[in-house]
Structure 1
Amino acid sequence: MAETARQIADDLRARISDDLMPGDRLPGEPALVRDYGVAKETARRALTLLVDEGLAVRRRGSGTYVREFRPIPRVANKRLAKEGWGAGKSIWGADLGDREFTVTDLEVYESGAPRHIARLLELNEDELVIVRSRRYVVEGEPVQQAISYLPAKHVRDSPIAQPDPGEGGIYRRLADLGLEPVHFTEELRARMPSQEESTLLAVSAGTPVVDICRTAFTADGRPVEVNQMLLNAGVYVMRYHLDS
């Protein structure tokens, strides 16, 4: 009986986990057609599934290979801990360790708040926000787009309104202003990206993104930042440390 594309992809995924190394070549379409008794289109779909999941990459004229990029573990509990940003460390250090990253397409400006952002920050319609938009690139691959919104009345005259807010980032600067974030909420959903988002994160047509909206609150419950993040689902692993 002919195998489906998903069944073939499952077999190849198991081989990637158990036997193959990053950079190893996966069986090509002719080999899959021969071994599984399927049509060439079915074999192509199986390989495409692995590419869309971020497990494999295609090299034009060469074949499909196990992806060499190591997944990024995103540990929300650890990256938001004050022991990190409070000591002047980058939140990204909690995710990447000694891996290199760069920030591109950085924009910092004052603007009116989108309606849903104004609602989350408990602002009136005419109140402005400082917007910090940036893209993160790890080992040459764009992995995340992030846009932070902060009430301009609190931060417009602080380093938060400058391209480089200093060690510890905007959370350390909020603490300097007496607006230390001590509680965070994150809402996460997976979805397919728009064409613009696919280009921004350089994801293949079938790869989903993870859409995260985080709100930071002070000890008295005042919202001081909303961060909208768009992650390439093919390069991230969501990890949580929870106590019973």
Structure 2
Amino acid sequence: MSEHEVSVAGELASDGASARRVPPEWVSSRPRADRARRVAEVLRQRIAAESFPDGVLPDELVLAEQLDASRNAVREALGLLRDEGLVTRRRGVGTVVVMPAYGHGLDRLAGLAEALAGHGTVANEVLLAEEIADPPARVLERLGLEPGAAAVHIERVRRVDGSPVSVDSTYLTAEVGRGVLRGDLETRDIFAVIEETTGSPLGRAEIEVRAATADAETASLLDIRPGAAIFLIDRLTRLSDGTPVDTELLRVRADRMTLRATLYRGLSQAP
């Protein structure tokens, strides 16, 4: 059905005449751009859920029927996804997912490399790994260090099959960090190296996730355009006795990572 036909059908329905029910998103008074954004959001969710196993989306007509939308709205939605780098459109092939998004659960304490296991070869490009005498004040506060205390700073680019996924900036207490610096930082997760160094399991972490856009430096490291969407994951990790040991800021490509959690509603206490 064309948008003109939809408009006419909507008018007939408003006059009480016999006509099929018109979904709200088809009403011609709603801007087409708004309808396209709604379609794009549905398709983003399906891509994140890996609903297209072969990586190829159905053609515009099929999507229009599946999503109860006009073909024009679908075409504009696919254009939005293309601009975001989620899909590419190839003549003779169709609309193809650029790369699947990886899932990272937020309901258990696991490093990013652990979450990426099984998705390809995970490697870390070490940009910086050194002990510093003047860590930022926020690092001292989060790690419970006195002013003037040293810390270890590690910065790495995480890659899966050679493609960058995140830039990880990690600060550790000097006592623990010196041992971590002697570990394998190119192929191992920082959590595993910490536990090996301390001989103690990690206990818990406080995590805050924020949406942000990539600055020029981050965009260059992650191979995305400046201003592209990223996740900022701010994490403070503690040993099993509650001692803070690692504060991290992860800059993660939003088109490559889906953050997931399973939450349970607590039982009410009996009066």
Partners in 2 of 1:133 and 1:11 — Cα distance?
Answer: 38
Partners in 2 of 1:136 and 1:152 — Cα distance?
Answer: 23
* Aligned equivalent of 2:141: 119
How far 1:93 moved relative to its partner? 3.2
* Aligned equivalent of 1:57: 88
TM-score normalised by the chain length of structure 1: 0.72
Change over 3 Å in CA distance of 1:130–1:15 after alignment to 2 = closer
How far 1:127 moved relative to its partner? 1.1
Change over 3 Å in CA distance of 1:198–1:174 after alignment to 2 = closer
Partners in 1 of 2:140 and 2:94 — Cα distance?
Answer: 46
Aligned with 1:8 (options 36, 47, 50): 36
**Secondary structure at the counterpart of residue 202 of structure 2:** coil
Which segments of 5 or more consecutive residues in structure 1 lack a partner in the other structure? 28-33, 81-89
How far 1:137 moved relative to its partner? 1.4
Verify the 8 A CA contact 1:110 1:152 in the aligned structure 2. yes
How far 1:55 moved relative to its partner? 2.8
**Secondary structure at the counterpart of residue 77 of structure 1:** coil
Partners in 2 of 1:167 and 1:47 — Cα distance?
Answer: 37
How far 1:240 moved relative to its partner? 0.8
In structure 2, give the amino acid aligned to 1:22: G
Q: Work out whether 1:218 is the aligned partner of 2:218.
A: no
How far 1:67 moved relative to its partner? 1.6
Partners in 1 of 2:200 and 2:214 — Cα distance?
Answer: 34
Aligned with 1:72 (options 80, 98, 102): 102
Partners in 2 of 1:56 and 1:69 — Cα distance?
Answer: 8
Q: Work out whether 1:196 is the aligned partner of 2:213.
A: no
The percentage of counterpart residues that share the same residue type is: 21
**Secondary structure at the counterpart of residue 107 of structure 2:** helix
Partners in 2 of 1:199 and 1:166 — Cα distance?
Answer: 20
- Larger radius of gyration, structure 1 or 2? 2
Q: Work out whether 1:161 is the aligned partner of 2:191.
A: no
Report the aligned-residue RMSD: 3.6
TM-score normalised by the chain length of structure 2: 0.66
**Secondary structure at the counterpart of residue 236 of structure 2:** strand
In structure 1, give the amino acid aligned to 2:141: R
Where do 1:19-98 residues align within 5 Å?
Answer: 22-23=55-56, 36=72, 46-57=77-88, 65-78=95-108, 80=110, 92-98=113-119
* Aligned equivalent of 1:30: none
Partners in 2 of 1:23 and 1:163 — Cα distance?
Answer: 41
**Secondary structure at the counterpart of residue 144 of structure 2:** coil
* Aligned equivalent of 1:171: 191
How far 1:229 moved relative to its partner? 0.3
How far 1:101 moved relative to its partner? 2.1
Which segments of 5 or more consecutive residues in structure 2 lack a partner in the other structure? 1-27, 61-69, 266-271
- 1:164-216 deviation digits (Å, cap 9, x = unpaired): 15996443443342554211111110112212222221224553110011111
Partners in 1 of 2:105 and 2:160 — Cα distance?
Answer: 17
Bigger drift between 15-24 and 69-78 goes to 15-24
Bigger RCO of structures 1 and 2 (CA < 8 A, at least 6 apart) = 1
In structure 2, give the amino acid aligned to 1:67: V
How far 1:94 moved relative to its partner? 3.2
